[in-house]
Amino acid sequence: MPSKPLPHLVSLASAVPRFDLEQDDVANRAGEIFAPMVSDFQRLMPVYRNAEIERRHSCVPIDWYADSHSFAERNGLFLDHATALLAEAARKALDQAGLKPSDIDTLITVCSSGIATPSLDARVMQHLGFRSDVQRLPIFGLGCAGGVLGLTRAAALARAEPASRVLLLAVELCGLTFRQQDRSKSNIIATALFGDGAAAAIISCRPEHSAGPALGAAAEHTWPNSLGVMGWDVLDDGLKVVFSGNIPDLVRNDLRPVVDTFLSRQGLTLDDIAGYVCHPGGAKVLDALEACFELPPRAMREARDVLRRHGNMSSVTVLFVLQETLNSGASGRHLLTALGPGFTAAMLLMDLP
């Protein structure tokens, strides 16, 4: 029986919006907004320092966050900025691969921070010269797991049509979901964590692309009765962030058996893993991931560096970590992981040359 074609990562590029948010400035502005409304806000102030984030990127200036905005206004900004960022990231990925938009056969778009119908891929097609018969697959609702699961879906489609090239697009504008009148702890913590960004990756099984990192086995695991761990509540003025405070405990206590089972099915153990490319949900989550995988404290340097410079960009973040890992010259078998609404763990093996 002939072996199945192996998909490879042909190129990977990123893009960020133009406004930089320094963490100290965010903390000061949050104090102006929340201190009059939240009696114990000073008790929460250390979250800005403990997040281990220095700056993030935003598609709107910091003054925008001090005012109230309707869902319609937020989503209008989302459509404009998400489309522009995806087009920028796509151009970079195509240039890096030496390809034209007309060389792409399938577009996959991952996003959970805004609503788009027509979907974002159709909008990006208006900016770049993709063929009219390109296949489109928009994916919504995967949250922070979307980067790894997007790569997994792209690899599966590339395997299904080995002569094709798949362009994965991911964008999140988490900042636009901030709701000024929301006094919840989750909303306050979100102001210390979330940033905006986009990434694009080309995946293909074509022989001329076989020099790049190979995408191997993948899996996902959704825990029962866990819908309330992470997600959005849809309210009149926008998307209200939902995440549980015990996510680091879930990572520390429940992720390892899932990963071990996945690796065992491939005839592997953690001893066969040369490195980790993990979504850095936050500093405490990274601490828990290092404990889960029996790594020394602060061993996940690339993930911590991305968190420090960009914050948590939901699905996009792990693609930034992968880009940092590739730029560092890493080689060998790597494990990609991310956790998202469901509550779901996404896992993917990638062999770096």
Catalytic residue positions? 144
Alpha helices in 180-243 (DSSP H): 185-193
Instruction: Please provide the DSSP assignment of 12-58 as one string.
Output: EEEE--SEEEEHHHHHHHHHHHHTTT-TTHHHHTHHHHHTT--EEEE
| DSSP-derived pairing of the beta strands 344-352 and 214-222 | antiparallel
Contact 112, 314 (CB under 8 A): yes
Instruction: Count Cα atoms within 13 angstroms, Cβ side, for 279.
Output: 27
Cα separation, 111 vs 90, in Å, equals 15
Contact 52, 307 (CB under 8 A): yes
Instruction: Please provide the DSSP assignment of 55-111 as one string.
Output: EEEESS-GGGGGS---HHHHHHHHHHHHHHHHHHHHHHHHHHHT--GGG--EEEEEE
Tell me the two tokens of residue 292.
């889960």
Cα separation, 142 vs 128, in Å, equals 26
Indicate the length of the chain as a whole number. 353
Cα separation, 241 vs 231, in Å, equals 6
Q: Which residues contact 233 (CB under 8 A, 6 or more apart)?
A: 239, 240, 242
DSSP one-letter code for 114? S
Q: Which residues contact 262 (CB under 8 A, 6 or more apart)?
A: 217, 219, 221, 347
